[in-house]
Amino acid sequence: MIAGARLWSDAARTARDEAAHRHETTATTLARVNSSSTAARFGTPEALVAASWRAPDGTSRTGKVAVQPRTAEGTTVTIWVDDAGAVTRAPRSAAEGQFGAIVGGAFVAGALSLTAAGVVGLRLRRTEAATLDEWESEWAVVEPLWTHRRRS
């Protein structure tokens, strides 16, 4: 539970940091996505194309951005950039952070449960081995009296 709470607070902090340092802007494509591109042929949802945009400090930037296949030259697309103006992904939503914290907490709980089960299993195995050794020692004493045979 502590691990889940820690993951939850870390995820919230990460989401806040990303939201503070990632900026939504528009880019203009500098070429059209060729219909013979890999994305268009295989039906993938995005293709990379050269584009230009303004960084948060106002400087002009160019680079590759993801667009839909068959996007025409001069098309305006929405992108996310970091403080330096480099293309990045959108900041994580609160739901993404919460989901990650829940999955991480469940993983930690599962790992602790498996570790505890392993320790209990090893302890039971050692107890059973000691019990069987003790039983064997006692049987060595009782068996000749019970069966009226001598042990060799």
Determine which helix (DSSP H) or strand (DSSP E) holds 30, and give its type and residue range. Answer: none
Domain count, the chain: 1
Please report whether residue 48 resides in a domain. yes
Assess if residue 41 is contained within a domain.
Answer: yes
Examine residue 123 and state whether it is found in any structural domain, yes or no: no
On the CB side of 103, CA atoms within 13 Å amount to 7
For residue 54, being part of any structural domain is answered with yes
By the 8 A CB rule, do 54 and 122 touch? no
Instruction: Tell me which DSSP letter residue 56 carries.
Output: T
Cα Rg of the chain, angstroms? 33
pLDDT at position 42: 61
- The answer as to whether 73 is a domain residue is yes
What b/e string do you get for 123-150 counting C-beta neighbours within 10 Å, with b at 16 or more? Answer: eeeeeeeeeeeeeeeeeeeeeeeeeeee
Name the residue range of residue 37's domain.
21-88
Q: What is the pTM of this model?
A: 0.58
pLDDT in tens, the chain (152 residues): 676 677 777 777 877 888 889 999 999 999 988 765 555 556 566 888 999 999 999 999 999 999 988 889 999 999 999 999 999 998 888 788 788 888 888 898 999 999 999 999 999 999 999 999 999 999 988 888 888 776 55
Is residue 103, in this structure, part of any structural domain at all?
no
* Contact status, residue 23 vs residue 56, Cβ threshold 8 Å: yes
